[in-house]
Copies of this chain bind each other. A is one copy, B any other.
């Protein structure tokens, strides 16, 4: 009487999905570089010289979290941080040669892992999977800033 079936709760399922992914990442991709760290490397491969905050936007991490992730990557020599001469508030981020190498290596392994992870679904189902998750996430993200109509700004 009163207990609920958590398998119909999207939050619970989201947590389980992420745990499952964490497990596979650790065994198939890397034990040193985490998935969020890879996301940061990837963002800097696409757009070298971004500042911290923008990297955070790109990969979906807030200021505090991105600062820690970047600090860890910097400590391992995978990226460099230099003050922006044009704007003394920012740090500009750039991968080192080691960072680019790590990104290349992990890209291959990540692709393999994704195949294993998604193996239970047919190709068509995988597309649906992406679509549904994206729509739910985007909608919730949109509720964050209610007073921002996205098109009209003044």
Contacts and interface: CB of A to CB of B under 8 A. Distances in A.
Interface residues of A, number: 61
B107 A136 contact: no
A11 interface: yes
Contacts of A14: 14, 17-18, 21, 133
Given A2-B100, A11-B117, A121-B135, 15 more contacts: A9-B110, A12-B35, A14-B14, A14-B18, A15-B35, A16-B141, A23-B143, A24-B143, A117-B140, A119-B139, A120-B136, A121-B132, A128-B128, A132-B132, A133-B133
The 6 closest A-B pairs by CB, nearest first: A20-B140, A3-B46, A11-B21, A120-B139, A3-B45, A14-B18
Interface of A: 2-4, 6-25, 27, 35-36, 39, 42-43, 45-46, 59-60, 100, 103-104, 107, 110, 114, 116-121, 125, 128-130, 132-141, 143-144
